[in-house]
A and B are shown apart, each in its own frame.
Chain A
């Protein structure tokens, strides 16, 4: 099974800041990684897929990079609505899926 480890687990930042969240995979997963944002009481929302492709409708201040085993999600010019929990996710060729443990982004 492929394990995904996110860091940090908690992040405190201010409006206008730039933040980066890292996701490390226990095995090579090429560019097969997605990022989700989840707000309390809501279902997750996909931001990025294929490691770096922005989902339609997602603001361009969100960006993703990486391949192999190390990936990053960067949020530039943080907006009040960006304070949420972020998850990385991978799904292999056998349709087996796993999520990172999450990173909670809080207002400083």
Chain B
């Protein structure tokens, strides 16, 4: 069955870096775009990054652009999020999610499988 398992969360000081990972199984990882979505404690969902199926395209919202980098290793079925210059407002549960395409290049993609999340706490 499809599984996405995040790891690498923890407590980190402001200004420092952290990399979280998402190991997948049960599907052909290299066929799917993948996303990171985060949720601050008691708050709503915030999209963080997307990477195309082959790693050739990446997009970010302004809130993390220039600080976060999404990457993937299709030989290891693993997705990564490198987070630099961390701020207290980056404290959140970070979820990886699989992208399902409705119409190629048209938009309307949605997320059908999510991991259980990994908590990142940015605090001194």
A-side residues, CB < 8 A to B, are 1, 29-34, 36, 38, 43-46, 49-50, 55, 87, 89-102
Across the interface, A93 reaches (CB within 8 A) one of B37, B100, B107, B110, namely: B107
* Cβ–Cβ contact B61 & A95, under 8 A: no
* Cβ–Cβ contact B114 & A44, under 8 A: yes
Across the interface, B116 reaches (CB within 8 A) one of A43, A91, A92, namely: A43
Across the interface, A95 reaches (CB within 8 A) one of B59, B62, B95, B100, namely: B59
* Cβ–Cβ contact A50 & B108, under 8 A: yes
Main DSSP-derived SS at the A contact region:
loop
Cα A94 to Cα B58 in complex, Å, equals: 10
In the complex, what's the smallest C-beta–C-beta distance from A36 to chain B, in angstroms?
Answer: 8
- Determine the chain A residues whose CB is within 8 A of the CB of B107 once the complex forms: 29-30, 32, 90-93
- Determine the chain B residues whose CB is within 8 A of the CB of A31 once the complex forms: 108
14 contacts between A and B (CB under 8 A): A1-B61, A30-B108, A32-B102, A34-B110, A36-B45, A44-B45, A45-B114, A46-B110, A55-B112, A89-B45, A91-B110, A96-B59, A99-B47, A101-B44
* Cβ–Cβ contact A46 & B112, under 8 A: yes
B-side residues, CB < 8 A to A, are 33, 35, 37, 44-47, 50, 52, 57, 59, 61-62, 95, 99-100, 102, 105-112, 114-117
Residue picked from A55, A91, A92, A96, most chain B C-beta under 10 Å: A91
* Cβ–Cβ contact A49 & B110, under 8 A: yes
Q: A87-B44, A93-B105, A97-B47 are in contact. Are A46 and B111 (CB under 8 A)?
A: yes
Query: Which residue of B is nearest A98, CB measured?
Result: B47
Cα A93 to Cα B111 in complex, Å, equals: 15
Cα A30 to Cα B102 in complex, Å, equals: 13
In the complex, what's the smallest C-beta–C-beta distance from A89 to chain B, in angstroms?
Answer: 7
Q: A30-B107, A89-B110, A91-B107 are in contact. Are A99 and B95 (CB under 8 A)?
A: no
